[in-house]
């Protein structure tokens, strides 16, 4: 019963955790795709951070990729960093 209620809340945008993913490569992209496909998991990706300059300013699953120098400025908008 609890799982059903939790999924319904998350579909409405409630009880969601804002995260930042460090790494926009294969693993980071697959995490983003999973969270996009399964919205009820409850994670909102706010940004990706990656050290590869060619990725800066691009998007992964509709989320911007930022350089590591921007990390501290992004922390105010997230609850967790996934590495």
pTM value is 0.85
Quick one: pLDDT at residue 78? 96
Instruction: Look over the chain and give the mean of its residue pLDDT values, rounded to a whole number.
Output: 92
The region of weakest confidence among 33-42, 43-52, 63-72 is 33-42
User: Percent of the chain, pLDDT > 90?
Assistant: 72
Quick one: pLDDT at residue 38? 87
Residue 8, pLDDT > 90, answer no
Residues 33 and 48: their CA atoms lie apart, in Å, by 13
Cα 34 to its chain centre, rounded Å, is 10
Q: How far is CA 25 from CA 4, 51, 66, in A?
A: 33, 10, 13
């Amino acid at each position: 019963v609890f799982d059903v209620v939790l999924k319904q809340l998350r579909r409405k945008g409630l009880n969601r955790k804002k995260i930042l993913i460090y790494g926009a490569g294969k693993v980071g992209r697959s995490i983003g795709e999973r969270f996009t496909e399964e919205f009820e998991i409850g994670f909102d990706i706010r940004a990706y951070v990656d050290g590869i300059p060619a990725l800066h300013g691009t998007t992964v699953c509709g989320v911007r990729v930022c350089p590591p120098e921007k990390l501290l400025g992004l922390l105010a908008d997230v609850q967790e960093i996934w590495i």
